[in-house]
Structure 1
Amino acid sequence: MKALVTGATGFIGSHLVDVLLERNWEVRAMARRSSAFDNLENAGGAETALGDVRDPDSLRSAARGVDAVFHCAALVGEWGAPREYHEINVTGIKNMIDAAQAAGVARFIHVSSVAVHGNEGHRDTTEDAPIRKSGVLYNDSKAEAETLLWAAHEQGRIRATAIRPVMVWGPRDRVYFGRVRDGVLESEFSGNLVDVCPTGVFTNKRFREVYSRPWDLRTARSVCIHCAVGCNVLPGGRHDTLRRIKPAPNRNVNPHFICDLGRYGGEFVNSPGRILGARIESAAVDSEKALRTAIERLKTIGERYGKNAIAAIGSGRASLEANAALALLVEALGSNQITFHASD
């Protein structure tokens, strides 16, 4: 028997490759070019294939000549851009089903999630519980994926099985807790342990060193500035100094967590060298003078080199209003050269 395993360098996929090899299956392990193939190289015996669930051509090539597809590839977690969840988890399984049908694959095993039944507790949940959305990006994308899977199964296009695990963790988990190596958590989301640990074993060392009475902080909801995803955060300050940043739950973006950059990357706010006002050639000026000077110099460039010599790059760290204002400025200068990436 020969199997194609998608997401083969991921947490569940890499362990599945090991088990299949132990049971004398031939294994074609598929992963993206950017993935780390260390575990596959250490396991040995698996054929590797470069592919992406968003690339139908790569899937058709990977599915040729296999008896079963184990579809493990997915965007996992509770934060991120809605478009990416849909492209990878929903469109991705559609592409894989099409490829499996075209190749005449006998079995299609999909690693789904108990999250397809909603976001409440699942102590008594059975496989007969209805599939429904809950407003959480990951959960809803897995629910949509299963809907497509069973439609294809009922149409006779594939013979499908869905596995719906609950919370899974262990060696090679890089989503919630990271890989442990020499006592260091390598996940970029490991700081969330501070919020979820019920015993106080994990604490925010940086916050503890400067201030340890959270009830005395002044807080206000905001949006993380470090990328275009738009995770909601709750900065806390005291005496005009930023002391701590925590996630502010938003089901549409980051239900409970934030990455470590969002949590610990705000130290520049307290820097004594931080620029707090407008400057021209290092000299402090009022904002009106700075704006007039900028417009005059940009107009000079446009007159000398042509209006489209002026280009603007917006920022995912800026608000939509700030990026819109930048677009208006460029338009007023007669240019149409502007680009920026805002959150979905």
Structure 2
Amino acid sequence: MRCLVTGASGYVGGRLVPALLEAGHSVRCLARTPAKLRDHPWAGRAEVVRGDVTDAASVRSAMRGMDVAYYLVHSLGGGPDFEERDRRAATVFAGEARRAGLSRIVYLGGLTPAGVPEQDLSPHLRSRAEVGRILLECEVPAAVLRAAVVIGSGSASFEMLRHLTERLPAMVTPRWVRTPIQPIAVRDVLRYLVGCARLPAEVNRAFDVCGPDVLTYREMMRQYARVAGLPRRLVLPVPVLSPRLSSLWIGLVTPVPGRLARPLTESLRHEVVCREHDIAGYVPDPPGGLTGFRRSLELAVQRIKEADVATRWTAASVPGTPGDPLPTDPGWAGGDLYTDHRRTVVDAPPEAVWRVIEGIGGRNGWYSAPAAWTLRGWADQVAGGVGLRRGRRDPQRLRAGDELDFWRVEEIEPGRLLRLRAEMRLPGLAWLEMRVGRDERGRTVYRQRSVFHPRGFAGHLYWWGVAPLHALVFGGMARNIASAAERGAGDGTGDGSPGAPPPAGAGAAAEGPAGPARRRGGGPGRG
């Protein structure tokens, strides 16, 4: 079938497109900024057109020749008039779907609590319910899927849960942590969305979609702590935190912006549990059943780790399953990142610098503070880690996947880039990246970046505990790699095996700020 997807740059939409393609459908994406979709792994397999759901002409053009249209846009945290904007967009979309003669509209909305009048719902849920009603009243058959909390790496709900649990061993919480919730794994949401493309024409209704488990938010936090290997969290609910205060608190403690946290917390004031499971009559549950909450956490935690390595940090590979993380996850999804940048102009050709870079580690050492590196290796061994004892496979050449002391080669672009992932015992994830190239004046430039993704409060303490050593370790490394390259170029050996590093600062000009920095983001990016 020919499917139009709106919201393809969003969390669910970005996963739905490859899932539809995998199911054999053709896909067209309607996007206000098509450039945002060009780096998706599926970009070359789906058509992308420019438009806005509030603009009838662009929606009409996008729907031309389509069979099914997915409506996955919502002004979550979008300002005081977001309900009016959502109402207008849904009205335009429904009207153009009727004119285009589509066979189906599919919408992912929010699960509303039973027995609560619509006027008493949060603005966020009230708007979701209204959009669903507008689409159902259209002459085109519609399927409105109503979900509570979606659990998946990078989802706002998961990231809020994750960071609250990781960063606060004990917390005073609002009373909504005792509200029963029935979450659903993102992979099951995608299964239902894809399946709805082939619903019979007479189906025009809403469906509750949930996972198999009903829990309170407090139970969800405790389960996350167990899955993540954290000590048991102490949660003390109090009745004094309003949704607004809760959102400010969440915005302070977690990377989730307050403007997103508020509608999420407002939606948790009432019990959100499925009242029916009729969707299974049209889209059968998988053979092993729907994904349980604990399993969805395990998948999300594992893929968050993989995302920092395979998706957000390196060139993204095609995700293996619909629930895999994608490079367009929200920028705040990965939490805090601490970075240390160094830039040095080198009086030697790039090839000489690369020989030094590729020869690093093992017997050649790390070009700075050898006692500090040795001490760190011993400490890692005492903690049960690999230490510096692994050395390197080849004294001169590296390849992706090689062990290199307590690092592993994650990516190598010969002559240009070496990226290492730390495998020592750390309260977080760490990388060391070394690049060589030329600047706009034709000079050889060596760039070095270390990145640390902390895990819990201990991770933040670790970074700031070792920060005073960064000038010695990382600054010395950048200077001495440059000096070794200059000596190798000068004596014609190009050896990259300088023996003892030269005095700090010898022969190389360092430029730009070099201190540790902190930013909030989903991954280290592409340097």
Give the TM-score, by structure 1 length. 0.47
Higher relative contact order (CA 8 A, sep 6+): 2
Give 1 or 2 for the bigger CA radius of gyration: 2
Structure 2 length-normalised TM: 0.32
